[in-house]
């Protein structure tokens, strides 16, 4: 008998024989073979899209009860199933990788970038700004009198207050490429690539306006009856005598000035003053040499 199936088959054959009488010296191979071939021949006529077929046959041959379980499925479907399993596994691994990446780069409480991610992106953006000769701006934001808020309302309310501010910052810095990060404690940062000082200052004012509009009540505050922030703003074009930490230093100077001048305000540190002093120092060193 010659069969020409349209597609290869994967066949699983299970034989269980139980003696019902004295075992006779009969050859079961011809009977089993013809029986199997008959089943296979009939299965080959089934529609090619059939995913799986199973037959259980019971035959009595020479006093032997022979149970035959035959499972036939097209190899193409087996390959498709395996391919789908691999695709599903790949999706699971990608989802797990995304989750691990978020955990490694995000602040668990606020849902914004953590300090490590901020510093990584700052270095990348500084190098990009140097190549493209584009400005890079930074806002450092500190919650005014946050210790008083925590002592008055408790740490759970304090956490909710920080989440409220982080959400406000994300709304203000919504452009692709803008990075909102937790810098430490109640301090947060916003990194603004390709943004000049005027644009960064405008964003700082928008943050003050949004916090006033969506006031988080804080009657115990010596500044206002709602939660406020102090902001230090700076902007730089990367130069030979500066690095990414120069940007942080300038923004921190602005933040310190905002706190010293009454809080709930923005102070700007101009890059020109610092760069000029660096150039002067460089010229003096060159002259001595």
Q: What is the rounded CA–CA span in Å between residue 57 and residue 59?
A: 7
Q: What is the rounded CA–CA span in Å between residue 89 and residue 221?
A: 53
> Contact, 203 vs 251, CB < 8 A?
no
132 belongs to the catalytic site = no
Catalytic residue selected from 117, 186, 187, 267? 186
Q: What is the rounded CA–CA span in Å between residue 43 and residue 41?
A: 5
**Cα dist from 216 to 104, 161, 211, 221, whole Å:** 30, 7, 8, 11
> Contact, 267 vs 233, CB < 8 A?
yes
Return the active site residues: 186
């Amino acid at each position: 008998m010659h069969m020409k199936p349209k597609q290869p088959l994967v066949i699983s054959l299970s034989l269980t024989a139980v003696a019902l009488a004295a075992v006779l010296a009969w050859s079961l191979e011809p009977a089993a073979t013809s029986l199997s071939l008959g089943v296979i021949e009939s299965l080959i006529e089934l529609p090619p899209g059939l995913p799986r077929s199973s037959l259980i046959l019971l035959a009595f041959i020479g006093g032997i009860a022979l149970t035959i379980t035959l499972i036939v499925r097209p190899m193409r479907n087996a390959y498709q199933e395996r391919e789908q399993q691999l695709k599903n596994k790949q999706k699971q691994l990608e989802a797990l990788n995304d989750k691990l990446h978020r955990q490694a780069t995000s602040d668990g409480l606020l849902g914004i970038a953590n300090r490590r991610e901020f510093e990584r992106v700052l270095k990348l953006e500084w190098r990009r700004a140097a190549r493209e000769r584009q400005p890079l701006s930074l806002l450092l934001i500190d919650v005014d009198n946050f210790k008083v808020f925590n002592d008055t309302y408790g740490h759970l309310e304090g956490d909710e207050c920080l989440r409220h501010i982080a959400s406000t910052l994300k709304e203000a810095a919504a452009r692709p490429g803008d990075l909102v990060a937790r810098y430490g404690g109640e301090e947060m940062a916003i990194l603004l690539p390709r943004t000049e000082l005027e644009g960064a200052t405008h964003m700082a004012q928008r943050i003050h306006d949004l916090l006033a509009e969506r006031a988080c009540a804080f009657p115990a505050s010596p500044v206002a009856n709602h939660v406020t922030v102090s902001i230090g703003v700076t902007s730089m074009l990367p130069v030979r005598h500066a690095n990414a930490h120069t940007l942080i230093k300038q923004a921190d100077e602005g933040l310190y000035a905002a706190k010293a001048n009454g809080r709930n305000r923005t102070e700007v540190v101009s890059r020109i003053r610092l760069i000029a002093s660096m150039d002067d120092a460089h010229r003096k060193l060159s002259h001595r040499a």
